[in-house]
């Protein structure tokens, strides 16, 4: 399979390959880091926010195909990074683009995307018919693949095919250790304002402990915005370690990989938190592992949900919000135990997007409410979490929506 259909690419020798596990070889032009990387190929339908996507720790182990053709045209900066550790990669294995990266044209840009990818060790390929690759993923599911970039165009194709075929895939894979924080720390940075940049929470009224399975920076900012001191703990923290900090609430973060694999050590912690009665809020991987802790099951999705245009209905309000999503696993609603209700559902495919425990201050969602594609349709969930804490403390609650 050769997708270098445009004349501009036909004259150039392939310097990058995407080799699928079934032996399919897609040729293109290399960008970013040189070398090879193996992972699961997904597609993302967002037309903005590529830097946030490429630094989202939930994409660890994946090669991202951008369906929007013009990626890199606004460059990159130091403010739009989502991984907490700015010096490290998020775990993204590679990126697949249609058009070449152009010179950045944006007043916030401090660097071009190609140089940034090189610095972060992310292998890229351009000149690809991304519509054809997306259709393949839609029909056959997310394939395992090797992405390779060699400026001289020399590749050991049999070895690449063998590596792609041998990679076991994300099912059963715990990727959280490569993205979680190594030690605990306190977060106080608040959200960005034009002309001011990021602020600081100097007078927190509540204390939230966040379990870091690959948390995004803007989640922590919105918790700080909501009036919280946020203590971030590594994914391996025990329930005793969490509760020893006397939190008003516990947050379960997003993250990569198979929730059942990470749940081997995280679910007992979550169950201990649940038993304590502390208000608890989970997002994405945190949502899936909360469901596991409550007795439900998760399942691998055919093509996953990755994009910033996903409509979700909140059954508790009958409102529809436009959300940002990034997950390849989902909670199986048919396994939800008695007392656990479905609160949100995807209007794309009807999959579960939220749960809550009846009579207890515990809930979670399958999407990213800290993102702003709607533009801020889902920010109310942070107020909902704060209100559960306030109710527990006997304090007045706030309106969920301004």
Q: DSSP assignment of 276-288, as one string?
A: HT--EEEETHHHH
Strand, coil or helix: what is 90?
Answer: coil
Catalytic-residue membership of 42: no
Catalytic-residue membership of 228: no
Q: Which of 284, 306, 310, 321 is catalytic?
A: 284
Give Cα separations from 156 to 9, 24, 146, 315 (angstroms): 22, 14, 12, 53
Task: Identify which of 294, 305, 297, 302 has the alpha carbon closest to the alpha carbon of residue 270.
Answer: 294
Catalytic-residue membership of 284: yes
Q: Which of 42, 228, 370, 379 is catalytic?
A: 370
Contact, 332 vs 44, CB < 8 A? no
Residue 344 CB coordination number (10 Å): 26
Q: In whole angstroms, what is the distance from residue 7 CA to residue 230 CA? A: 53
Q: Which of 287, 305, 368, 379 is catalytic?
A: 368
Q: Which long-range contacts (CB under 8 A, 24 or more apart) does 193-202 make?
A: 197/79, 198/79, 201/225, 201/227, 201/228, 201/229
Q: In whole angstroms, what is the distance from residue 91 CA to residue 295 CA? A: 30
Q: Active-site positions?
A: 284, 368, 370
């Amino acid at each position: 399979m050769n997708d270098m259909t445009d004349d501009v690419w036909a004259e150039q020798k392939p310097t990058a390959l995407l080799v699928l596990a079934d032996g399919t070889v897609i040729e293109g032009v290399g960008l970013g880091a040189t070398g090879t990387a193996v992972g699961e190929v997904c597609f993302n339908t967002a037309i903005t926010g590529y830097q946030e996507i490429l630094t989202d720790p939930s994409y660890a182990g994946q090669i991202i195909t951008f369906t929007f053709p013009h990626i890199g045209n606004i460059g990159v900066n130091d403010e739009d990074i989502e991984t907490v550790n700015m010096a490290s990669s998020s775990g993204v294995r590679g990126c697949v683009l249609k058009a070449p990266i152009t010179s950045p044209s944006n007043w916030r840009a401090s660097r071009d995307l190609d140089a940034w990818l090189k610095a972060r060790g992310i292998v890229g390929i351009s000149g690809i018919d991304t519509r054809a690759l997306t259709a393949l993923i839609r029909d056959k599911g997310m394939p395992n693949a090797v992405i390779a970039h060699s400026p001289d165009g020399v590749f050991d194709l049999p070895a690449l095919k063998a590596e792609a075929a041998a990679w076991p895939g994300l099912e059963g894979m715990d990727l959280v250790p490569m993205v979680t924080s190594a030690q605990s720390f306190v977060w106080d940075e608040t959200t960005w304002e034009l002309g001011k940049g990021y602020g600081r929470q100097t007078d927190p009224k509540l204390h939230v402990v966040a379990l870091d399975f690959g948390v995004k920076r803007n989640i922590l900012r919105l918790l700080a915005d909501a009036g919280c001191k946020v203590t971030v703990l590594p994914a391996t923290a025990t329930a005793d370690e969490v509760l020893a900090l006397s939190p008003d609430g516990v947050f379960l973060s997003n993250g990569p990989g198979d929730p059942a694999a990470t749940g081997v050590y995280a679910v007992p912690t979550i169950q201990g938190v649940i038993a304590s009665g502390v208000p608890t809020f989970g997002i994405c991987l945190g949502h899936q592992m909360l469901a596991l802790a409550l007795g439900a099951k998760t399942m691998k999705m055919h093509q996953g949900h990755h994009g910033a245009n996903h409509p979700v209905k909140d059954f508790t309000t009958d409102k529809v919000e436009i959300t940002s999503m990034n997950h390849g696993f989902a909670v199986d609603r048919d396994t939800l135990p008695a007392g656990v209700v479905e609160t949100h559902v995807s209007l794309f495919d009807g999959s579960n997007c939220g749960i809550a425990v009846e009579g207890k201050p515990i809930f979670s969602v399958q999407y990213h409410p800290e993102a702003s594609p709607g533009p801020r349709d889902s920010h109310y969930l942070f107020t909902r979490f704060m209100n559960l804490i306030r109710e527990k403390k006997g304090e007045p609650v706030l309106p969920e929506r301004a």
